[in-house]
Amino acid sequence: MSKVLIIDVGTQSMRGIIFDEKGNLLVKEQVKYEPYIAKENGYMEQTAEMYWNVLCSITRKFTSEHSDMMKDVIAMSVDTFRDTAVLLDDDNKVLRDLILWSDQRVADTSAPLPAKNRFLFKLVGMTRTVNAIRSKVKTSWIMQHEPELWAKVRKVVHISAYFNYLLTGNLTDSYASTIGHFPFDFKRKRYLKESDLTFPVYGLDLKYMIPVCSPGDVIGTVTAQCAMQTGLPVGLKVIASGSDKGCETVGVGCLGKDVASVSFGTTSTVQFTTDKYFEPERFMPAYPAVFKNYYNPEVQIFRGYWMISWFKQNFARHLEKRAADLGKSVEEVMNEEIEAIPPGSDGLILQPFWQAGLTTPEARGSIIGFSDYHTRAHVYRAIIEGIDFALREGLERMEKRGKQKIKYISVSGGGSQSDLICQIAADIFNRPVRRVQTYETSALGAAIVTFTACGTYADEREAIDHMVHYTDVFNPEPTAVVTYDHIYRNIYLKLYAKLQSFYKYLEKE
């Protein structure tokens, strides 16, 4: 039976996984690393060399310890996190450490855009959103603060494109991976034209951009030089797939109009797969899916399940020894602690805006309802519930804008490993939550694209039918549904408007 190798690059770890054509995860090698280097408060950088060295260590382990299995590998693909630019010089060498998607620094937006663009943005009420986008363009920050380095820049690429180059010698990327603060037209799946309204927002000349290809295209084959570093066989095909979130959506089988993909990952998201382009929020694009004729409208909760790591590090370090003694993770111990806490966390409500969004640039996180009987465990459960409330709000907004009715939720990401977390989601969304045979759904989605590209399946729909298997279904519990729906409609949905003036005041401090 043929197999494919997937390299799944995450913010906190990298996984190499071999799948067979039935969607079975045969072997996995995972390497965890420090998520970022913080040179200053709010700065989050990492070296490209670190990521590549980890990839090489994983592939060398595969070829040395699983050589028999590697003989059946017909192709490979790489999916990565989004919105992290790699700056290359004339020789395609990396010029500086990567500024990660989660980095908090902002660019100066005082230089005015062309008058025509400013007028049109103001006319449609887009001025604040445009300024928020401009401030998040990390290449603009580098131009402003490191002009001598920027003068050496010849290409600006995503980390996925950089890996494609090191593997094959071809500097190209899937349009389904080109998701970030680049001058890209997501609807037409090409770069913006200089005459396009939003082109000046990104401050990047088209000369810095590289060619894009379609997901499923053959980027190239592993070169002799790459084989020496990685141990991979010369000539192994490298297939274009897409970003981690896009691949997750495929990996949970999200294709029909009645299903949504919810990711309980570092950034928590809710996505559809649709053949109709529509903005999930006003002025926010739908991203190209790893299915060629589809899009993924998406609502993000920045720092979503990263908040679990934040909470564990700051408030649950004392559980590490207990967890080790029990042979469990700290998260498992924390999940056990909240089982006895009722839905609604005894009146503790959390708004999970630990990082502001583009349409809510002044937003901050908040927790209300504290009393003397609340414990650390209550806060932990409130975090989980708050993320789900925010995702439900995004889902309902997308249903309305896309004229779709979602009946099922398919979940992915680290949080989906917990039965309790899946049950809370079912109760808050008031929809059955489905879990597939592996939580490594980004890699599974990339494997689906790769097998389809190799001709194993006629199309992605057939591949999903053979490779995605629902193993668990969590149905809403009626009593919990009533409680959560009351909190959601009468408290959560009103919370942002009531706190917005305070957020704006704090923004000025």
What tokens were used for 228? 């020496």
For position 508, what pLDDT does the model report? Answer: 66
CA 452/CA 75 separation, integer angstroms: 11
CA 241/CA 7 separation, integer angstroms: 11
Can you tell me whether residue 185 is helix, strand or coil?
A: strand
What tokens were used for 57? 């260590």
What tokens were used for 188? 């037409």
- Calculate the average pLDDT of the chain: 93
Amino acid at 217: D
Label residue 301 by pLDDT band (50, 70, 90): confident
Per-residue pLDDT tens digits for 85-102 = 999 999 999 999 999 998
Label residue 304 by pLDDT band (50, 70, 90): confident
Residue 103 has pLDDT above 80, yes or no: yes
CA 246/CA 292 separation, integer angstroms: 12
| Pairing assessment for the beta strands 237-239 and 73-80 based on DSSP bridges | parallel
Can you tell me whether residue 216 is helix, strand or coil?
A: coil
User: Contacts by 202-205 with C-beta closer than 8 Å and gap 24+?
Assistant: 202/134, 202/137, 202/139, 202/140, 203/134, 203/137, 203/139, 203/140, 203/143, 204/137, 204/139, 204/156
For position 355, what pLDDT does the model report? Answer: 66
**Residue found by looking up tokens 């996180």 in the block:** 365
Label residue 325 by pLDDT band (50, 70, 90): confident
Contact 220, 170 (CB under 8 A): yes
Rg (CA), the chain: 22
Of residues 65 and 502, more confidently modeled: 65
Per-residue pLDDT tens digits for 138-182 = 999 999 999 999 999 999 999 999 999 999 999 999 999 999 999
| Pairing assessment for the beta strands 408-412 and 433-436 based on DSSP bridges | parallel
Mean pLDDT, rounded, for 360-379: 87
Of residues 87 and 133, more confidently modeled: 87
Cα–Cα distance list, 87 to 162, 184, 476 (Å): 10, 17, 47
Helices (H), 430-471: 441-453, 460-467
Output DSSP code: residue 37. Answer: B
For position 360, what pLDDT does the model report? Answer: 67
For position 342, what pLDDT does the model report? Answer: 96
DSSP bridge partners of 259: 408
For position 264, what pLDDT does the model report? Answer: 87
Percentage of residues of the chain with pLDDT beyond 90 = 75
Point out the least confidently predicted range of 358-367, 466-475, 491-500: 358-367
**Residue found by looking up tokens 């382990």 in the block:** 61
Residue 476 has pLDDT above 80, yes or no: yes
Per-residue pLDDT tens digits for 238-258 = 999 999 999 999 999 998 889
For position 125, what pLDDT does the model report? Answer: 84
For position 506, what pLDDT does the model report? Answer: 78
For position 499, what pLDDT does the model report? Answer: 82
Residues 6+ apart with CB under 8 A from 207: none
99: left (phi over 0), alpha (psi -120 to 50) or beta: beta
- DSSP string computed for 72-135: TEEEEEEEE-SS-EEEE-TTS-B-S-EE-TT--------SPPPHHHHHHHHHTT-HHHHHHHHH
For position 266, what pLDDT does the model report? Answer: 76
Cα–Cα distance list, 33 to 10, 29, 266, 435 (Å): 10, 13, 14, 27
Mean pLDDT, rounded, for 76-88: 96
Residue 357 has pLDDT above 70, yes or no: no
Per-residue pLDDT tens digits for 333-346 = 899 999 999 999 99
What tokens were used for 331? 């998260």
Count of all residues that appear for the chain in the document = 509
CA 295/CA 493 separation, integer angstroms: 27
CA 467/CA 445 separation, integer angstroms: 9
> Which of 329, 312, 317, 272 lies closest to 295, judged by CA?
272
Which domains, and CATH codes, for the chain?
A: 3-242 (3.30.420.40), 252-301+431-474 (no CATH), 306-404+478-508 (3.30.420.40)
For position 359, what pLDDT does the model report? Answer: 63
**Angle in degrees, CA 251, 247, 48, rounded to 5:** 135
CA 140/CA 110 separation, integer angstroms: 12
